[in-house]
Chains A and B, each alone.
Chain A
């Protein structure tokens, strides 16, 4: 983001200004603590033993660091009746997210390209209709989707979830790419058309390579959305095919046995780690996705 250049004009100097500056940084720092506090609690609790959790304060640092809870959350915590930890569900989430992200991104690029560079009659209407699809409360498609997956023999399977995420991700990916391609000059595409290049030729050889930034933003956005999804996961999968968010919720809300808070927290970190890593590595693109998701048209 562009920094504002008002040096020496808006900003007065002197002791009052310094006091304001100190106040400003104190406030900013306090809010950093506010946002980081749950993360700190999560990590520190996950490294404690159950005995220490019961005796001590949840704000304290662990006295002895133990990775037992992590091992248990990953490999042997009970999700329902099955006690293999989050690992199989984490794998489910990967198997679901990777194809769904790639498919919805590729198809979204194709849609956006067709809508902007090969404008046909009704393109605006179709775009408006698809755009609205990004905002519907998914509750309104849950029942027919459950039946459709049943008819297709995909009920309760990971491929079923891939289908659902691809279909309902298309609205957003189309939007991202349409907005990107609208800013790309038609000149190159038209020149290629004159040279006899076809629809797919132009798409794969010219348009796709130059839309790398849009691809990155879309992939990050889609990955975050699909990995973090809970509604579709809990509605359309059962037991063994659950994604990791559903499994995490099952671990935390199991009512049987001793409540193992350290395992809960380790499980929460494991489930949140992939998207958190993506955010840390590619935060700028993530933010761009967020604002693209906000300001349409």
Chain B
């Protein structure tokens, strides 16, 4: 009798052990998302209140000029960041795929920025791009006395400095993913094409790159995901300034939540970010999971 009970417990032990773990971690994600969504439908200001108040916070959000600046910056930044990182990534991956003996060392150099915090990256690029002492000064010392490079403090161009630093940090990552993809293309097909007289250019454009389509998709999604979440880099490099010229949704949300104490608007902006990420990630995860099961 006792052993039977012990057996029954033993059989259910896995579930007994892991279900609180799953319950807690799912609660911290989905329970909290629900809380934030709920707050975005209330009148919450400095303190959260829980009475339903309709779409008022969303109306306020979409009537805030600063939100439009953040959205425009997100589009400009992610477009350039993704395009340049990918172009650089695929280019470097193809260069590295030419049977380079010191490939390991070079790859290490291309990829190390990925190990750094965006705060460190922001700090060093802020110094390099500093109009008084950085690139601008060097160029002037070299005799180009009219050379100006003040993007960091120029509201119209500051967003591009974030692109510069972001690409420096993440292009190596894109390179590593593309390189892994290149290595997984079937050698036999390439050899066959080469025997048929296809030159390297034809081999890449005709066979290798088309075979990499899924890798392209992964890289776009990973970079887009990085771009939407970008917060640290903006804070470290420009602090969202000059003014709020380089605000992004992530810094916007932070400012409204912790500096201006407008919880409702902050929650509404967070929900907009979540919706954007969902639109990109959910179809991707769905296809990946389905692909794995097949």
Contacts and interface: CB of A to CB of B under 8 A. Distances in A.
A294 B177 contact: yes
B225 A143 contact: no
Interface string B226-252: 001101100110010000000001100
Interface stretch (A78-86, A154-162, A211-219, A247-255): A247-255
Given A143-B35, A143-B267, A290-B114, A32 B128 contact: no
A143 B269 CA distance: 12
Given A114-B18, A135-B225, A24 B127 contact: no
Contact of A230 (B17, B92, B119, B239): B119
Contacts of B228: 137
Contacts of B257: 142-143
A102 interface: no
A295 interface: yes
A75 interface: no
Contacts of B281: 132, 135
B2 interface: no
A141 B26 CA distance: 12
Nearest to A269: B120
A245 B232 contact: yes
A160 B18 CA distance: 22
A198 to B, nearest CB: 6
B65 interface: no
Given A59-B138, A140-B32, A261 B133 contact: yes
Interface in A129-151: 129-133, 135-145, 147-148
A280 B108 CA distance: 8
Nearest to A277: B115
Secondary structure at the B interface, as helix, strand, loop or mixed, is helix
Contact of A198 (B13, B25, B121): B13
Interface stretch (B54-62, B75-83, B150-158, B179-187): B179-187
B126 A252 contact: yes
B183 A111 contact: no
Nearest to B233: A230
Nearest to A34: B168
A120 B108 contact: no
B177 A10 contact: no
B141 interface: yes
B277 A135 contact: yes
A118 B176 CA distance: 35
Contacts of B254: 139, 142, 231, 234-235
A271 B119 contact: yes
Given A9-B195, A126-B26, A138-B229, A286 B115 contact: yes
Contacts of B84: none
B137 interface: yes
A143 B270 contact: yes
Given A230-B232, A291-B177, A144 B36 contact: yes
A294 B218 contact: yes
B112 interface: yes
Interface string A258-297: 0001001101110110011011100100110011011111
B222 interface: yes
Contacts of B180: 1, 291
B239 A253 contact: yes
Contacts of A24: 95, 98, 100
Given A9-B194, A110-B18, A167-B24, A36 B109 contact: yes
Contacts of B99: 3-4, 7, 11
Contacts of A283: 108, 111
B159 to A, nearest CB: 19
| Chain A to chain B: the 4 pairs with minimum beta-carbon distance, closest first | A297-B292, A228-B117, A279-B115, A118-B14
22 contacts: A1-B183, A6-B190, A11-B99, A57-B137, A114-B14, A130-B25, A133-B26, A135-B225, A140-B273, A227-B117, A234-B235, A235-B254, A249-B235, A249-B236, A261-B127, A272-B117, A276-B115, A283-B111, A287-B176, A294-B218, A296-B289, A296-B292
